[in-house]
Amino acid sequence: MRIPRGVWAIVKEAARHVLRRPVVGVAAAARTADGRWLLIRRTDTGEWALPGGTLEWGESLRSALPRELAEEAGIDRVQLGGVSGVYSAPWRDQRFHAVTIVVRATVGEPSRPPSNPAEIAGVGLFADSELPPRLAHGMTQMLEDARREGSTWE
């Protein structure tokens, strides 16, 4: 299900007036023990993305990421690593101004489907040579930075 561009424009404008602050999000640069990257296919764009989401009220980053991995990718086994990058450019995500913290993680394979099929169309595990050339919502650079194993912030 794709949301029409006009609807996104209205939601974005309303959020700009209501929120007036960047949204904090967390995403996983997650790999399985055999080195495959975990990506989710979003229903809003049809593109692949890093799994993750926004922080809920009263939630820590450390608890948000396993929750998002469980909801979006059916992942039960998560070992969190270090921070790969912090991304804050206002243009990066066309939906809203997000500050996204990307965390490295080692994960088990998905054990069940995503819990919200209206948001997530699928889950995939990709070898380096199989990765899609572009990810949704400005995440292409996030994955490239994670693959280089450095630490980035903007």
Residue 152 token pair? 């980035």
Q: In the annotation, is 119 catalytic?
A: yes
Provide the 8-state DSSP code for 72.
H
Query: Which is the catalytic residue, given 47, 71, 109, 119?
Result: 119
Render the burial of 84-111: b for 16+ CB within 10 Å, e for the rest: bbebeeeebbeebbbbbbbbbbbbebbe
Contacts of 40 (CB under 8 A, 6+ apart): 48, 49, 50, 51, 72, 73, 114, 120, 122, 123, 124
Residue 66 token pair? 């396993």
Q: Which residues are identified as catalytic?
A: 119
